[in-house]
Amino acid sequence: MSTTFTINSATSRANPVSAPMKRLTVPAVRDRKAKIAAGTGEPLVMLTAYTVRMAQLMDPHCDLLLVGDSLGQVIYGLPSTVPVTLEMMAAHAAAVVRGSYHAVVVVDMPFGSYEASPQQAFESAAYLMKQSGAAAVKLEGGVAMAPTVAFLSERGIPVMGHVGLTPQAVNALGGYGARGRSQAEADKIVGDARAVAEAGAFAVVIEGVVEPIAIEITNTVAVPTIGIGASAQCDGQVLVAEDMLGLFERVPRFVKRYGDMAGFVAERAQAYAAEVRSRAFPTDEQTYAPR
């Protein structure tokens, strides 16, 4: 069953307001690289989103919204991104598309949905885009995934690459530590980025690498780089929104917390609980009197 459906604005508070701006396109994102180099374009802004309401709030401020497989941990409390399914990604991506009008919506391809062959990747990507209406997919990997990136790109599926620390490979990597501290690993990451860019990726996420690697990749590939734990010199930046908002007590070193939403929510829940227990809530303003 398709997850793309229209919400009745008369009955749902989640229905988006009328579109105040035109949605960006994948070519416009790709072309930002040259504009940044020429000093006529701003760095790309990307945040994760998993729900309609978060998409609504962030959409006017972002160039891209990423429906990341990080939803496995953020939304479902899973130990890693590995257990995330295509169906989970499709449902959340559809919600983000419904909640946005401006940003390019990119959806992660989950572990096991694209690695076996380019044909498997095409079928998975086509499913995600059909079910959600997202504009592009993102997949992890470098040289080994370059043929798959080319296969998808040649068939009309825009692909965002992802190199460096690749969370889906956490079991092989042995953890979430920064990558590229040895020269051999640094060379591999740079080679990976070049391979996926040359294969047709319209942008490349660089995650959790020592800064010189991110700078070298940014200066050598022809498509925008989007850093997360990489460098301010990347062509754009991405963070998990819930980390940035301070909804979790423990966050990676590369995250800047722009608020304390966890504290805010906890304090309001405590105030609500106190009023319920003292019968201070609800008052006459929140109840219905007989006519």
Binding residues for Mg(2+): 69, 108, 140
SS3 at position 226: strand
What does the chain come to in residues? 291
Of the residues 207, 216, 249, 267, which is catalytic? Answer: 207
> By the 8 A CB rule, do 233 and 33 touch?
no
- Which tokens go with 93? 């991506």
Q: Which residues pair with 65 in a beta bridge?
A: 47, 105
How many whole angstroms separate alpha carbon 124 and alpha carbon 147?
A: 16
CA 104 to centroid of chain Cα atoms: 11
CA angle 38, 41, 46 (to 5 degrees): 135
Q: Which of 226, 202, 203, 4 is nearest to 93 (CA)?
A: 4
> By the 8 A CB rule, do 225 and 203 touch?
yes
Q: Identify whether 123 is a catalytic site residue.
A: no
What are the CA-CA distances from residue 85 to residues 2, 38, 115 (Å)? 16, 41, 14
- Which tokens go with 109? 């391809």
Binding-site positions? 69-70, 108, 138, 140
State the catalytic residues: 207
